[in-house]
Amino acid sequence: MEGAGAAAVKSEKIWMNGSLVPYADARVHVLTHALHYSTAVFEGLRCYETPKGPAIFRLDEHIERLFNSAKIYSMKVPYSPEEIKAAISETIKANKFTECYIRPLIYYGLGGMGLTVPEHGTEASVSCWEWKTGESAAGKTTGARCKVSSWTRIDGRAQPVKAKAASNYANAVLARMEAHRDGYDEAIMLNGAGKVAEASAANIFVKRRGAIITPPLSSGVLEGITRDSIMRIIRDDGGEVLEHDLDREDLYTADEIFMVGTAAEVKSVTELDGVNISSGSLGATTKRLQELYTKAVTGADERYLGWLTYL
């Protein structure tokens, strides 16, 4: 999940279709195809300050997922992965950020209405902004209050859930809105088979009877890059992590629940549907993983330096 409120997006420059433009000029036409039919794919990355300067966390994996998402939607991206990587560095530098969230977007633009996509209309942009959500950095002792959503997580038979596509997020936004309306911070979604899938914008892990478990990719979740990083960190720390289906009841009886994602980082769930998890406070495993993750992303743990791309 992201922070509880909407992120305040502010920057000097945005990269659009090959050049940096002032924030106020980064506009699209009202007949942009993506605006009508959700034909856009995107990524969310973070740049962190490290002892050797600002570095982007797992840049290659994010760009690979971006281009795979575009491929699933048959988008002819007019830039190479290397050009998008260069655009990301350029945009961060132009905004003089040392830490920020980064949002590359590829979308069908202008060139005709109707479901048929514009043949030459694929456009791209890179935005970045400061977005601090780190729970451990904020010294919080309680985590998110969540509810199991009445909305089912979209099914891979209806839409490609492995694509990080804008269209998938209408489902997530409905879940998030419902959670907020009902007084919670975040939603946890079940899949069509009633098994635990993920939060609206984060993967989920549960500690139960000493084991750390996360739903498998076959549960219809996004193949999260933080999920992959956390699994590696748990194993390197001598722990075991299992991928198997979880029922809703497994959440209520969990010792700890935490959500992971680029925006959310490692965020604990300390209440679900009015039931206290981990006695309503941050669990020891969640806390340890928050510390280890922070070290990994900020270049303080040399085992993970290979995950960093310096600006």
Ligand X SMILES: Cc1ncc(COP(=O)(O)O)c(C=O)c1O
CB 172, min distance to ligand X, A: 6
Pair 184, 175: CB distance under 8 Å: no
x/- map, 148-187, ligand X, by CB under 6 A? ------------------------x---------------
x/- map, 250-289, ligand X, by CB under 6 A? -----------xxx--------------------------
Q: Which is nearer to ligand X, 34 or 166 (CB)?
A: 166
Q: Which is nearer to ligand X, 94 or 174 (CB)?
A: 174
Position 247, amino acid: D
Q: Which residues of 75-108 are buried (b: 16+ CB within 10 A; e: fewer)?
A: bebebeeeebbebbbbbbeebebebbbbbbbbbb
Which whole-number Å values give the CA distances from 271 to 185, 242, 256, in the listed order? 10, 23, 10
Q: Pick from 246, 261, 259: which is nearest to 211 by CA?
A: 246
Q: How far is C-alpha 145 from the chain's CA centre?
A: 19
The interaxial angle of helices 225-236 and 284-297, nearest 10 deg, is 110
Q: Which is nearer to ligand X, 131 or 184 (CB)?
A: 131
Positions annotated as catalytic residues are 164
The interaxial angle of helices 225-236 and 59-72, nearest 10 deg, is 140
Q: Which is nearer to ligand X, 57 or 184 (CB)?
A: 57
Near ligand X in 35-54, by CB under 6 A: 44
What's the DSSP call for residue 6? Answer: P
Question: Count of residues binding ligand X (CB under 6 A)?
Answer: 15
Helices within the chain (DSSP H only) = 33-37, 59-72, 81-94, 168-181, 225-236, 248-252, 284-297
Q: Which is nearer to ligand X, 65 or 207 (CB)?
A: 65
Q: Which residues pair with 202 in a beta bridge?
A: 199
Q: How far is C-alpha 76 from the chain's CA centre?
A: 24
CB 21, min distance to ligand X, A: 25
CB 167, min distance to ligand X, A: 12
- Read off φ and ψ for residue 90, nearest 5 degrees: -60, -40
CB 262, min distance to ligand X, A: 3
Pair 162, 72: CB distance under 8 Å: yes
CB 279, min distance to ligand X, A: 27
x/- map, 197-236, ligand X, by CB under 6 A? -x--xxx-----------------xx-xxxx---------
CB 18, min distance to ligand X, A: 26
Q: Which is nearer to ligand X, 111 or 295 (CB)?
A: 295
Q: What is the contact surface with ligand X in residues (CB under 6 A)?
A: 44, 172, 198, 201-203, 221-222, 224-227, 261-263
